[in-house]
C-alpha cells in the first residue's frame, strides 16, 4: 500500500482532485484523479465500471449527487492507504482527451478582448457591437477537432486577403494566433424544447478545463463576414487533460463585473458564478501574459442559459468556452493579436521578435485559483507546438 505525500504547496491537494483519462504503457485508457504528482486509478479502486471507460462521459452523466458522493469517496481514499498498483507518477502516464466532446460552442465574453478586437478589425467604429452587453455573443465550433494538450498543431492553409490586396491568395496562415480561454463541460444534458436556467449551472456543469482556441487571423478576417468564424478556427482547439470539478472552485467564486445595462430576466443570476482564476501564457518558455478570468463579463451560468434559451438541447460532453480571457493591461491579453496590437508591436521572445506564431513555436497556458483551506489549486496546462503546413499546393 502507498500513502500519497501531498506537499503544502502542491496545486493538486485534497481541495482540487481533478479527473482525467490516463493510460500506462500497454494498458487501456481509464479514469484517474490527480493528487500531488500522482495519478490514482479510479477504475482499480472505486468498483464502478464507469471509471474503466476511456472518457468521463458515463460518470458525468450520473449527475450532481453522484459527483458529490464520488468526490467525498476519492478524498477519503487518497487520504489513506492506496494499493500500490493504483498509484502512478504523473510523469509515467499518457493523458488522453478526457471527454467525448458533444457540441462545442465558443463565446466572446471578455469586454477587454471584444473591445480590443473591435478596434483592430473595425477601426473608427464603436469597439463593441450594439448587442454585446445584452447577450453573450458566441458561435458553434467544430467538436471533432478538439484535441488534448500536447497534440501538435499543423499550420492551417486557406484563403487570405488583406484589405488592399486585389484578390484572395491561398497558402499557409501567416497570422497564426492563440486564444487563452476557460472551457466548461456539461455533465447532465437538457431536452430539446427546454431552457436551462442560470441557477441550474451547478447541477448541469461538471467541471472546467483550459482551452487554447488556435486562430488563423488572416483566414478569419477574410471569411468571417457575415456568418462569423469558420475555417480560421476549426482546424484545432486544444484542452487541458484535467477536468477541475465545479465543486473545487467554490473558494474561487466572485461576482462578474457589474452589468450595465441590466440584462433580460433569463440572464439575471441570483448567485454569482464568476471565478477568480489567474491564467498565464508562456510563448517558447517566456511568460508573456497573465489573463485574469475574473474580468469575464458573462458568467458560465449565463452562457448556458443563453445557449439554451431557444430550446436547444444539451448533452453530456458538450463543451463551451469563455472566449479569450483578457484584462485591461497589455500584459493581461490572452491573444497575440492583442498583445502585439495586430502585429504592429512585436514582443521579444528569448531575443527574437515575434508577432504571430512561427513553425516550431510552443505555447503553454496554465492557471491557478484559490482553493479550500487557503491553498491554491491548479488546472495543469494546455500545451501545443506548431508544425509546418502540409499540402501547400497553392489550393489547386
Ligand atoms: Mn475563441
What are the cell numbers at 390?
502540409
Residue 106 Cα, ligand 1 centroid: separation in angstroms? 6
Q: Residues 118, 128: contact at Cβ < 8 Å?
A: yes
What are the cell numbers at 269?
443570476
pLDDT digits (tens, 9 = 90+) for 36-94: 999 999 999 998 999 999 999 999 999 999 999 999 999 999 999 999 999 999 999 99
Residue 78 Cα, ligand 1 centroid: separation in angstroms? 36
pLDDT of residue 195: 98
pLDDT of residue 345: 96
- Is residue 60 located within the same domain as residue 173? no
What are the cell numbers at 239?
484542452
End-to-end CA distance of the chain: 62
Q: For residue 378, report the phi and psi dihedrals to the nearest 5 degrees.
A: -120, 155
Looking at the structure of the chain, the number of domains it has is: 2
Among all residues, which ones are annotated catalytic? 113
Q: Is the dihedral of CA 347, 350, 353, 359 positive or negative?
A: negative
Exposed / middle / buried, residue 193 (Cβ in 10 Å: 0-12, 13-18, 19+): exposed
Residue 213 Cα, ligand 1 centroid: separation in angstroms? 5
- Is residue 378 located within the same domain as residue 318? yes
pLDDT of residue 373: 82
Residue 107 Cα, ligand 1 centroid: separation in angstroms? 7
- Is residue 198 located within the same domain as residue 259? yes
Of 50, 78, 95, the position where a domain reaches its end is 95
What are the cell numbers at 380?
495543469
Does residue 14 sit within a domain? Answer: no
Does residue 203 sit within a domain? Answer: yes
Strand order across the beta sheet in which 38-41 lies: 87-89, 38-41, 30-35, 19-23, 94-96
Question: What separation in angstroms does the CA of 323 have from each of 114, 119, 146, 210, 328?
Answer: 9, 17, 15, 11, 15
Does residue 294 sit within a domain? Answer: yes
**Structural domain harbouring 131:** 104-387
- Separation CA 279–CA 365 (nearest Å): 7
pLDDT of residue 391: 72
What are the cell numbers at 178?
492563440
pLDDT of residue 108: 97
- Separation CA 300–CA 321 (nearest Å): 8
Of 95, 117, 135, the position where a domain reaches its end is 95
pLDDT of residue 121: 83
Residue 188 Cα, ligand 1 centroid: separation in angstroms? 24
Q: What are the per-10-residue average pLDDT scores of the chain (396 residues)?
A: 95 98 97 98 96 98 98 97 97 98 98 95 92 98 98 97 94 97 98 98 98 98 94 98 98 97 96 97 98 98 98 98 98 98 96 97 98 94 97 74
Q: DSSP secondary structure string, 196-235?
A: --GGGHHHHEEEEEEEE--EEHHHHHHH-TTT---TTTTT
Does residue 67 sit within a domain? Answer: yes
Closest CA to 292 of 275, 272, 277: 277
Residue 138 Cα, ligand 1 centroid: separation in angstroms? 9
Does residue 9 sit within a domain? Answer: no
Residue 135 Cα, ligand 1 centroid: separation in angstroms? 16
pTM surpassing 0.85? yes
Establish how many alpha carbons lie within 13 A of residue 16's alpha carbon, considering only the half-sphere containing its beta carbon: 31
Does residue 268 sit within a domain? Answer: yes
Residue 36 Cα, ligand 1 centroid: separation in angstroms? 31
Of 67, 95, 123, the position where a domain reaches its end is 95
Q: Residues 213, 352: contact at Cβ < 8 Å?
A: no
Q: Residues 293, 258: contact at Cβ < 8 Å?
A: no
- Separation CA 41–CA 219 (nearest Å): 43
Does residue 228 sit within a domain? Answer: yes
Read off the CATH number of the domain in which 330 is found.
Answer: 3.90.850.10
- Is residue 214 located within the same domain as residue 90? no
Read off the CATH number of the domain in which 63 is found.
Answer: 2.30.30.230
Amino acid at each position: 500500500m502507498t500513502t500519497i505525500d501531498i506537499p503544502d504547496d502542491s496545486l493538486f491537494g485534497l481541495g482540487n482532485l481533478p479527473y482525467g483519462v490516463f493510460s500506462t504503457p500497454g494498458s487501456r485508457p481509464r479514469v484517474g484523479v490527480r493528487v500531488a504528482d500522482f495519478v490514482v486509478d479510479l477504475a482499480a479502486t472505486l468498483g464502478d465500471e464507469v471509471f474503466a471507460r476511456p472518457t468521463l462521459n458515463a460518470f458525468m452523466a450520473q449527475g450532481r449527487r453522484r459527483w458529490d458522493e464520488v468526490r467525498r469517496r476519492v478524498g477519503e481514499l487518497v487520504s489513506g492507504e492506496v494499493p500500490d498498483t493504483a498509484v502512478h507518477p504523473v510523469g509515467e502516464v499518457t493523458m488522453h482527451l478526457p471527454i467525448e466532446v458533444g457540441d462545442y460552442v465558443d463565446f466572446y465574453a471578455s469586454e477587454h478582448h471584444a473591445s480590443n478586437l473591435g478596434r483592430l478589425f473595425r477601426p473608427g467604429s464603436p469597439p463593441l457591437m450594439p448587442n454585446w452587453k445584452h447577450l453573450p455573443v458566441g458561435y458553434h465550433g467544430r467538436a471533432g477537432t478538439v484535441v488534448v494538450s500536447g497534440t501538435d498543431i499543423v499550420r492551417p492553409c486557406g484563403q487570405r486577403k488583406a484589405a488592399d490586396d486585389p484578390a484572395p491568395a491561398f497558402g499557409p496562415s501567416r497570422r497564426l494566433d492563440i486564444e487563452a480561454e476557460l472551457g466548461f463541460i456539461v455533465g447532465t444534458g437538457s431536452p430539446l424544447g427546454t431552457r436551462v436556467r442560470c441557477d441550474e449551472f451547478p447541477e448541469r456543469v461538471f467541471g472546467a478545463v483550459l482551452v487554447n482556441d488556435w486562430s488563423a487571423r488572416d483566414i478569419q478576417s477574410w471569411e468571417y463576414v457575415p456568418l462569423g468564424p469558420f475555417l480560421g478556427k476549426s482546424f484545432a482547439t486544444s484542452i487541458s487533460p484535467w477536468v477541475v470539478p465545479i465543486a473545487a472552485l467554490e473558494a474561487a467564486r466572485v461576482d462578474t463585473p457589474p452589468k450595465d445595462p441590466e440584462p433580460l430576466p433569463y440572464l439575471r443570476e441570483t448567485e454569482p458564478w464568476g471565478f477568480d482564476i489567474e491564467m498565464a501564457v508562456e510563448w517558447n518558455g517566456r511568460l508573456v501574459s497573465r489573463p485574469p478570468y475574473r474580468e469575464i463579463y458573462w458568467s458560465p451560468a449565463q452562457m448556458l442559459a443563453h445557449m439554451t434559451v431557444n430550446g436547444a438541447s444539451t448533452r453530456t460532453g458538450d463543451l463551451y468556452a469563455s472566449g479569450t480571457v483578457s484584462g485591461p493591461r497589455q500584459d493581461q491579453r490572452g491573444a497575440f493579436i492583442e498583445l502585439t496590437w495586430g502585429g504592429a508591436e512585436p514582443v521579444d521572445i528569448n531575443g527574437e521578435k515575434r508577432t504571430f506564431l512561427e513553425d516550431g513555436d510552443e505555447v503553454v497556458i496554465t492557471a491557478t485559483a484559490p482553493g479550500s483551506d487557503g491553498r491554491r489549486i491548479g488546472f495543469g496546462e494546455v500545451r501545443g507546438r506548431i508544425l509546418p503546413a502540409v499540402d501547400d499546393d497553392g489550393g489547386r
